[in-house]
A = this chain, B = another copy of it.
Amino acid sequence: MSLKYAVIGSGALGGFYGGKLAHSGKDVHFLFHSDYEFVLNNGLKVDSVNGDFHLTGINAYQSTVDMPKADVVLVCLKTTNNHLLKSLLSPILHSGTVIVLIQNGLGVEQDVASVFPQQPIVGGLAFICSNKIGDGHIAHLDYGKLNLGVFQGDIDPVVEQIKNDFTEAGVPAEVASNLMQARWQKLVWNIPYNGMTVVLNTTTDRLMSEASTRQLSYDLMLEVINGARACGVEVKESFADKMMELTDSMTPYAPSMKLDFDFKRPMEIEYIYSRPVKAAMEAGYAMKKVAMLESQLRFIQAGLSEI
């Protein structure tokens, strides 16, 4: 049986992952927002380091009310839009529809599960560098691996099929045995670099070039690792060293939160900072520096910086 996919949020992530699936012949239905008309007339263009492609005649929609019920919903919205998910997803769910949350941070699955308590839910972690560079136009610059992990539901065979669909589409995909571990591990990188590039208005390479912020990045990583451990999730300290090496090897990089800040979009403070801080605190560990970064970001988000 082949799976029917719905892609909610066809931007940098949804445009790429959904586009790859559609390009490989899967049955994919895209929800577009501002560039619906453009895509209808011009299709979806993906400039990828692994080969460009251009999809025309795709299944594009302006509202989920008009979409068919899907077997798999790929939620590729920023978490700042998650309050919309109840009304957005309800029309396209059947009892077995798997909701895949390709989103950053901690706690997204829990929150969506409280809205859809009966629905199978999968967490998705995207290790990718991609941007939406224009209407119906995605640039895929580097990486691309998708890590999937079951949060709710007895759905291992379906998740295996989703993984295989991605693999066939040329997207390296894995099923994580421990979703929470995968989420915390991703936070080890996301927490220092997303917030610090915003607060200090800079890029990853500059943070790494100055001794004080290099050390602070590492300290923040260790706090996240200790936070994970407090929550019963094992992450090795050496993982921080691996992330330092990875960052050193990257080209100067503005993480997604820095782009959100630069383009005056809301930042994903809640799921990337507040939830991990709260989870660790409830487990008895204060991530003090992470909490400080959270406070600084909330101040900036409130528009109070710059006189």
Interface on A for B, CB 8 Å cutoff? 199-203, 206-207, 209-213, 215-216, 219, 288-289, 292-296, 298-300, 302, 304-307
Contacts and interface: CB of A to CB of B under 8 A. Distances in A.
What are the nearest 8 A-B pairs in CB distance? Answer: A212-B298, A212-B295, A216-B295, A213-B299, A288-B288, A206-B304, A289-B292, A201-B305
B296 A199 contact: yes
A201 B288 contact: no
Given A288-B288, A288-B289, A203 B296 contact: no
Question: What is the copy number of this chain in the assembly?
Answer: 2
Nearest to A299: B213
Contacts of A219: 292
B307 A202 contact: yes
Nearest to A293: B292
A304 B206 CA distance: 6
Contacts of A295: 212-213, 215-216
Contacts of A199: 199-200, 296
Secondary structure type dominating chain A contacts:
helix
- Of the listed residues A293, A302, A304, the one surrounded by the most CB atoms of chain B closer than 10 A to its CB is A304
A186 to B, nearest CB: 22
Contacts of A210: 298-299, 302, 304
Given A212-B298, A213-B298, A299-B210, A202 B306 contact: yes
8 contacts: A200-B296, A200-B305, A201-B306, A207-B304, A210-B298, A212-B298, A216-B295, A292-B293
A205 to B, nearest CB: 10
A262 to B, nearest CB: 9
Contact of A200 (B202, B212, B216, B299): B299
Contacts of A302: 210
Given A288-B289, A289-B289, A292-B292, A299 B212 contact: yes
A295 B202 CA distance: 14
A203 B299 CA distance: 12
Nearest to A216: B295
Contacts of A212: 294-296, 298-299
A261 to B, nearest CB: 12
A71 to B, nearest CB: 42
A185 to B, nearest CB: 23
